[in-house]
Amino acid sequence: MNIGELNWLAVVASALSAFVLGALWYGPLFGKAWQALSGLSDEDIQQGSPAKIYGGAFVLNLVAAFGMGMVMQLHPMPDLGSGLAVGSLIGLAFVATSFGINYLFALKPLRLYLIDAGYMVVLLAIVGTIIGAWR
């Protein structure tokens, strides 16, 4: 793996796409259900620091996109399909299972797990697709 061969535009575009997905996923698609299942009131949400939350989320999305870029360098012929496959596999096999273990022990509801793990699987599939296609 060579960091110099990484397509930084694809990494940034992937992080931005993850940010947009998050706005949709935790907004109109599942926002109210997620908020209720997380036990957060409107006042709790308003007390959060937008700069800290959104800035931190973007940095973490950038780290995930960077990691996907490094993983995709291991693929002999990266393309859209392989990016989708690798991103989906990482999302399902590593992230969703990790969330599942934590949510089981924390006694969190299945629906909350499906919202959060589903977001990460879709996010990583999109990031993988962008990175794979944009090599």
CB 6 within 8 A of CB 131: no
* Nearest partner of 3 among 50, 72, 58, judged by Cα: 72
pLDDT computed for residue 1 by the predictor: 67
**Cα–Cα separations (whole angstroms), residue 38 to 35, 66, 101, 111, 116:** 5, 29, 17, 10, 11
What residue segments make up the domains of the chain, in order of their start?
Answer: 3-133
Helices (H) and strands (E) in the chain, counts: 7, 0
**Cα–Cα separations (whole angstroms), residue 87 to 11, 59, 104:** 13, 19, 24
**Which DSSP symbol is given to 78?**
-
- pTM, full prediction: 0.93
107: left (phi over 0), alpha (psi -120 to 50) or beta: left
pLDDT computed for residue 135 by the predictor: 72
Distance of alpha carbon 112 from alpha carbon 128, whole angstroms: 24
CB 131 within 8 A of CB 7: yes
Parts of the chain with a pLDDT under 50: none
Side-chain half-sphere of 101: how many Cα atoms within 13 Å? Answer: 6
Q: What is the pLDDT of residues 22-39, one digit of tens each?
A: 999 999 999 999 999 999
